[in-house]
């Protein structure tokens, strides 16, 4: 029977990106759960062999503004307790940290743009090993989080100590965007235009960097995702 991968999508343009081909190649049928459109009860009932919690522009603890976050955190917490394969990217990583009991809070500064990550010793031995030689990646966040209990730090930057972590082989969180490199980056520039303008980001320069680094980013994305999927515990 074909395995299912469900990606929780908070905004339409932040999708699986360059992770999608690796997930499909590993034998998963991909289905998106669009927050604000699809029913949480259906997702709980149907379940998923693999859950990927994608990014978005809301805070992981803004429950009063966005009540869906409570249900989403509960869903993730149940998967953590069952040790079911779960990946979080950006907001998704923050939600995993929250579900694991860690604090999520505003970081010292926004990180937006292409910049390197520094792998820890554990990170060099992890699915992120492709970043050892080519550390450049896409950053797009303002919040950060404490390292969850039982987690291993895999990557950092000067601004953000916890750029990636793992809780055993089946749970992983990326504060940065390793999935970047697929088509559709222009949608990010449109969707986040207010944030980019407020932060004084040169949109044309960011677009040019995405075009220049896109192929290398996509290659690393496929390698990272495939390596993590190969290492999942039954």
Selection from 215, 224, 132 nearest residue 181 by Cα? 215
Tell me how many degrees the CA angle 71-73-78 measures, rounded to the nearest 5: 95
Quote the pLDDT of residue 1: 67
What pLDDT band is residue 49 in, cutting at 50, 70 and 90? very high
The model's pLDDT over 82-119, given as tens digits with 9 standing for 90+, comes to 999 999 999 999 999 999 999 999 999 999 999 999 99
Quote the pLDDT of residue 204: 97
User: What CATH number is associated with residue 181?
Assistant: 3.40.50.880
**Structural domain boundaries enclosing 155:** 3-230
Domain count, the chain: 1
**pLDDT reading at 181 higher than 80:** no
Q: Which of 36-45, 47-56, 59-68 has the lowest mean pLDDT?
A: 36-45
Quote the pLDDT of residue 142: 94
Percent of the chain with pLDDT over 90: 97
**Whole-prediction pTM:** 0.97
Quote the pLDDT of residue 182: 73
The model's pLDDT over 186-199, given as tens digits with 9 standing for 90+, comes to 999 999 999 999 99
CA pair distance 211, 227, nearest whole angstrom: 25
Percent of the chain with pLDDT over 70: 100
């Amino acid at each position: 029977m074909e395995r299912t991968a469900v990606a929780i999508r908070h905004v339409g343009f932040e999708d699986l990106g360059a992770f999608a081909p690796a997930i499909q190649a590993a034998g998963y049928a991909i289905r998106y759960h669009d927050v604000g459109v699809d029913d949480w009860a259906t997702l709980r009932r149907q379940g998923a062999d693999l859950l990927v919690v994608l990014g978005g522009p809301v805070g992981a603890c803004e429950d009063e503004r966005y009540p869906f976050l409570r249900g989403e955190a509960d869903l993730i917490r149940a998967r953590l307790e069952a040790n079911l394969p779960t990946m979080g990217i950006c907001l998704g990583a923050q939600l995993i940290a929250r579900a694991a009991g860690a604090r999520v809070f505003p970081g010292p500064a926004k990180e937006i743009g292409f910049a390197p990550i520094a792998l820890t010793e554990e990170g060099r031995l992890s699915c992120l090993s492709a970043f050892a030689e080519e550390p450049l990646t896409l950053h797009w966040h303002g919040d950060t989080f404490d390292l969850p209990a039982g987690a291993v730090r895999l990557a950092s930057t000067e601004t953000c100590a916890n750029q990636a972590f793992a809780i055993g082989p089946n749970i992983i969180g990326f504060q940065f965007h390793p999935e970047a490199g697929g088509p559709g980056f222009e949608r990010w520039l449109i969707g986040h235009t207010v944030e980019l303008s407020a932060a004084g980001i040169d949109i044309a320069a960011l677009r040019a960097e995405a075009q220049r680094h896109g192929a290398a980013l996509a290659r690393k994305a496929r390698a990272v995702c495939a390596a993590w999927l190969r290492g999942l515990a039954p």
